[in-house]
Amino acid sequence: MKAIETHDLSKRYGKTEVVAPLSLTVPAGMVFGYLGPNGAGKTTTIRMLSGVLTPSGGTGTVAGAPLSDPDAVKARIGYANQAASVYGDLTVAENLRFKAALYLAPAEVEGAVNDTLERLSLGPWRNYLAGRLSGGWRQRLSIGTAIVHGPSVLFLDEPTAGLDPVARRDLWDAIYGLTALGTTVFVTTHYMDEAERCQEVALISGGKILAQGTPEQLRSGLAGVRYALQAGDLNAALHAARQMRGVEGAWIIGDEVRITAKGREVEGELSRLGTLRAVPANLEDVFVSYARAGGRA
C-alpha–C-alpha distance, residues 209 and 284, integer Å: 15
pLDDT at 84 (0 to 100): 59
- Give 18-85 as a DSSP string: EEEEE--EEETTSEEEEE--TTSSHHHHHHHHTTSS--SEEEEEETTEETT-HHHHHHHEEEEETT--
C-alpha–C-alpha distance, residues 24 and 209, integer Å: 9
pLDDT at 120 over 50: yes
Least confident span in 84-93, 162-171, 212-221: 162-171
- Give 187-239 as a DSSP string: EEES-HHHHTTSSEEEEEETTEEEEEE-HHHHHHT--SEEEEEE-SSHHHHHH
Least confident span in 144-148, 180-184, 268-272: 180-184
Least confident span in 92-101, 133-142, 227-236: 133-142
pLDDT at 167 (0 to 100): 79
The SS3 assignment for 11 reads strand
- Give 248-268 as a DSSP string: EEEEEETTEEEEEESSGGGHH
Class of residue 21 by CB neighbours under 10 A (exposed 0-12, middle 13-18, buried 19+)? middle
For the chain, counts of helices (H) and of strands (E): 11, 15
**Angle, CA 283 vertex, CA 277 and CA 287 arms, to 5°:** 115
Distances (CA, A) of 173 to 138, 140, 214: 15, 11, 19
Residue ranges and CATH numbers for the domains of the chain are 2-219 (3.40.50.300), 223-280 (3.30.70.100)
C-alpha–C-alpha distance, residues 143 and 92, integer Å: 12
pLDDT band at 182 (very low <50, low <70, confident <90, very high): confident
**Angle, CA 137 vertex, CA 134 and CA 143 arms, to 5°:** 140
Name the pTM for this structure.
0.85
Q: Please, how many CA atoms are within 13 Å of residue 211, restricted to the half-sphere of its CB?
A: 25
DSSP state of 90: S
Pairing of strands 77-81, 153-157: parallel
Average pLDDT of the residues in 52-57: 95
Distances (CA, A) of 60 to 8, 49, 289: 9, 8, 29
Average pLDDT of the residues in 75-79: 92
Least confident span in 28-37, 54-63, 175-184: 175-184
Class of residue 115 by CB neighbours under 10 A (exposed 0-12, middle 13-18, buried 19+)? middle
Instruction: Identify whether the C-beta of residue 58 lies closer than 8 Å to the C-beta of residue 209.
Output: no
C-alpha–C-alpha distance, residues 269 and 282, integer Å: 24
pLDDT at 297 over 60: no
Q: pLDDT of 233-290, one tens digit each? A: 999 999 999 999 999 999 999 999 999 999 999 999 999 999 999 999 988 889 888 8
CB atoms within 10 A of CB 203: 25
pLDDT band at 82 (very low <50, low <70, confident <90, very high): low
pLDDT at 60 (0 to 100): 96
**Angle, CA 243 vertex, CA 239 and CA 244 arms, to 5°:** 125
